[in-house]
A and B are shown apart, each in its own frame.
Chain A
Amino acid sequence: MTQLALVIDLNVCVGCHACVTSCKQWNTSGQAGPMFDDNPYGKDPTGTFFNRVQTFEVGEFPCTETVHFPKSCLHCEDAPCVPVCPTGASYKRKEDGIVLVDYDKCIGCKYCSWACPYGARELDENQKVMKKCTLCVDRIYDQSIPEDRRKPACVISCPTGARLFGDVHDPDSEVSIAIRENGGYQLMPEWGTKPANHYLPRRKTKMHIHEDELTRADNPLRKEDIRHETSKDTTLDDWLM
């Protein structure tokens, strides 16, 4: 069974919010839109977003570092938002594993947003139905878009290429390889919801260099001892030697 998902590399994400804005742009102008906005350029803007970036600090000050954590619907394989929906408006597609909301069947009871342990669902305050990430389902199958562009808007817009998209059930897919080789993990796996989206952890590139390695063992000048006496005055040679 296909399970489409995003894999987000936290080692690469710089928290620029390009995924947030491109998601908003595509989905507002797409079939899911318009997505509600109130006072977008004012002091307290509020609105509906499918994708948001959280920032959290690791460590104790001053030894801290900041991790940016983009979060959208994780398209759980055992999604807790699906069984709780009274009308069945919230459903998981068999063919590709995307969790969607049927906007025509949603009565806006908001119970699914209580049930989601990841806080991924938002009520559109204008349309008064529950909305969430669709993995750009209206884009990834659109034959009028060039094939290499049939990806979610957030994946295409990410300037650092931190977001990958593909089938996590296909062991040879780019996302499966990335998860396998880079220690990809799920958000809160203890819930048993089996989130399809994965995160690649922060990875530090470290080298251990011995002091010997900083001295050139085979320095030809030393070997042949062709250094000349130098005057006590500082000359250009002092800098060169």
Chain B
Amino acid sequence: MKIAFREIEGKSQGYWGLFAVLAILAALGVGSALYMEHHGHIVTGMDNQIVWGLPHVFAVFLIVAASGALNVASIATVFGKTLYKPLNRLSGLLAIALLAGGLMVLVLDLGRADRLIVAMTYYNFKSIFAWNVILYNGFFAIVIAYLWTMMDQKGGRWYKPVGLLAFVWRLILTTGTGSIFGFLVAREAYDAALLAPMFIVFSFNYGLAVFLLVLMGFYAGTGRALGDKMVLRLKNLLGVFIAASLYFVFVYHITNLYFTKHHGLEAFILMNGGIHTLMFWVGQVVLGYLLPMAILFHPGLGNSRAWIALAALLAILGGLAQMYVTIIGGQAYPIDLFPGFEVSSSFYDGVVHPYTPSALELMLGLGGVAVALLMVAFAVKVLRFLPERLDDETVAALHGAK
């Protein structure tokens, strides 16, 4: 069955309103980056104890979500589920846009963003960070090629191999992102091989949540038909991915709890860490896992578009909370240089490091989200990314095809 793709009109007030809001957010993000560049990091909440702050929370979330957003396309191409084939263009587009937004935040939060060219020309291949630079660039190139094989007939015969390459690459990419933390031996919260597969599962979860929201948003906004069959399948998948995320988080913490030397860290995250404990239990576990799962698997609520959208939004908020706990919490917990001794100094040794993100950091982070969504909003207007109709008959026909 042939699927018709068409650009959205993009002339409505709603479209331009969305465009304007995103553009303002993006401009605020760039403006705050310029301000931080001019005045130095002292105007942020970051210091020498919390070196990666709120911008990295957004950046790593977007990068992880980017690889996850490609999953829908991979399911169609690699695993042969033709049902999802109409969505693979949007999947590829979202992957590129989210990665671009995330990298924008990451680069602008570098001490010397002006030296990006150095990062691109000098590689220390022992550094997982350097490998990530290669993996990000490769991801852009491969997914653009993947989109070409989807959208241009000439590329059609490359569709399968490039799709497979993209799938393998996205797994390696998220392994790399997780390993940025997994390879950090010096901090108690990291130094675990589990972080790489855990980040892959997180990416399935966050990527699909973003994908589902964007898909439902555009179809609702443009009035195109989007049948329940597609939405309900995707929401079930999201529910499974959220459950898998919860499982990995459970294994991570139960393992740490088994090691006496990690009890201090676990007590900090799970019991007495203030904002970090709150972020973990309320943000990550309740809002990010339990509540969306309850909604998605509820026989009544799970069929409602509004509730599904809410669940996806909660999964995203839970993802941001998870990144906050992982990135900020892991740094806030002090390095134990003198086990068993009480340490005091004039520079925060031996104490939990306080961190209050500045509005500038929040604006930069939101700016990255805005840039990603702007790219999507622009691309679907100028290129044929979205199928004209995804009603139940179309989906049933596709489903029958495989």
Contact = CB atoms under 8 A, between A and B. Distances in A.
B186 A46 contact: no
A14 interface: no
Nearest to B183: A84
Which 6 interchain pairs have the tightest Cβ spacing? A108-B111, A128-B111, A117-B186, A83-B126, A86-B129, A86-B130
14 contacts: A49-B347, A55-B343, A56-B342, A56-B343, A107-B113, A108-B112, A109-B110, A110-B51, A110-B52, A115-B186, A119-B337, A125-B42, A128-B41, A191-B185
B341 A36 contact: no
B42 A87 contact: no
B12 interface: no
Given A86-B119, A87-B122, A107-B112, A128 B127 contact: no
Interface residues of B, number: 44
B51 A129 contact: no
Given A86-B129, A125-B42, A128-B40, A114 B186 contact: yes
Given A54-B343, A54-B345, A115-B184, A38 B42 contact: yes
A187 interface: yes
Contacts of B343: 54-56
Interface in B92-125: 110-113, 115-116, 118-119, 122-124
A109 B185 contact: no
A91 to B, nearest CB: 9
Interface string A38-55: 100000001011001111
A111 B129 contact: yes
Interface in B319-358: 331, 335, 337-338, 341-347, 349-350
B48 interface: yes
A205 to B, nearest CB: 23
A115 B179 CA distance: 13
Interface in A90-119: 105-111, 113-119
Given A55-B344, A107-B112, A108-B112, A114 B129 contact: no
Nearest to A71: B337
A56 B40 contact: no
A87 B345 contact: no
Interface SS of A by simple majority = loop
A107 B119 CA distance: 7
B391 interface: no
B398 interface: no
B187 interface: yes
A122 interface: yes
A56 B341 contact: yes
A38 B48 CA distance: 13
Nearest to A88: B124
Given A113-B48, A119-B335, 6 more contacts: A36-B42, A80-B185, A86-B133, A87-B130, A126-B42, A129-B111
Given A58-B341, A114-B51, A116-B186, A108 B128 contact: no
A130 interface: yes
Contacts of B115: 105-108
A71 B122 CA distance: 31
A20 B42 CA distance: 21
B393 interface: no
Contact of B51 (A106, A118, A123): A123
A108 B41 CA distance: 11
Among B115, B126, B183, max chain A CB count under 10 A is at: B115
B259 to A, nearest CB: 15
A108 B111 CA distance: 4
A57 interface: yes
A70 B41 CA distance: 26
Nearest to B180: A111
B346 to A, nearest CB: 8
Contacts of B51: 110, 113-114, 123
Contacts of B116: 107
